[in-house]
Amino acid sequence: MIPIVQVSIDLPTIAAAFHVADLAVRAGVDWIEAGTPLILGEGLHAVRALHQRYPDHPIVADLKTMDAGYLETEMMARAGASFTVVMSRAHRGTVAGAVAAAKDYGIKVMADVMLEDDKPAAARRMEALGVDFIICHTGFDERAVEVGKSPMDDIEAVVKAVGIPVQAVGGLTIEQAKQMPRLGAPLVVIGAPLVISVASFTPAQADDELARVLREVVAAVKQG
């Protein structure tokens, strides 16, 4: 699979999301994520707005579904999402429901293994339930409390555990992002702290610098 760069838009309003997404698209980012804060702030309207503004860019709805898997996936698909996210810690019925809805509506499901004690085992379980992608994720609060923790801790073991594509998420540096395709995780997500400020959930830098960082990440990942 060719390397894919996804930008996580963890901002609370559509206007702020457009501002960063415009910079990201011009920098060459492939996929746009409606981050959880954006979905909480603006709901399905944010997914629909991103899809309408960037029709050639797949939209990832980071809903972090824990229940009502079919319904929530159906809602995101109808709003224009190409991918939706279910948590591996959800009940197997929730994951199965998300997978069923995705098949019915022609989209894909990503399973997030954040906070699993055994991420490779969780990834295998999700693959068996039919998800399309695994997200090897070290969470925002997790990284703040357990300083130094990173997707780098788990990525190789997760990649070896499954036969479906793996995505790395969680505070990656530019150098770490560059390594991901070589480690077998060609789906690379950039968000906080490179794009989004971890202190204020606003753009991390002024536009010129943010655009430069985005271009650098895209080039690093795609050139390997």
Span 101-133, pLDDT tens digits: 999 999 999 999 999 999 999 999 999 999 999
CA atoms 23, 193, 156, 92: torsion sign = negative
In this prediction, residue 200 has a pLDDT band, given cuts at 50, 70 and 90, of confident
User: Which pLDDT belongs to residue 36?
Assistant: 95
Neighbours of 196 (CB within 10 A): 25
What is the pLDDT averaged over residues 75-92? 98
What CA–CA distances, in Å, run from 104 to 8, 43, 82, 108? 26, 22, 13, 10
In this prediction, residue 224 has a pLDDT band, given cuts at 50, 70 and 90, of low
Those residues whose C-beta lies under 8 Å from the C-beta of residue 48, and which sit 6 or more positions away, are: 79, 80
Q: Is the pLDDT of residue 201 over 90?
A: no
Q: How many residues does the chain have?
A: 224
Are 62 and 34 in contact, with CB atoms under 8 Å apart?
A: yes
Q: What pLDDT digit, counting tens, does each position of 131-188 carry?
A: 999 999 999 999 999 999 999 999 999 999 999 999 999 999 999 999 999 999 999 9
Question: Which CATH fold topology does 4-223 show?
Answer: TIM Barrel (3.20.20)
Are 63 and 72 in contact, with CB atoms under 8 Å apart?
A: yes
User: Which pLDDT belongs to residue 135?
Assistant: 98
Average pLDDT, whole number, for the chain? 96
Provide the whole-model pTM: 0.96
Q: Is the pLDDT of residue 79 over 70?
A: yes
User: Which pLDDT belongs to residue 172?
Assistant: 92
Neighbours of 11 (CB within 10 A): 27
What is the pLDDT averaged over residues 187-191? 93
Most distant CA pair in the chain, distance: 46
Q: Is the pLDDT of residue 192 over 80?
A: yes
What is the pLDDT averaged over residues 207-223? 94
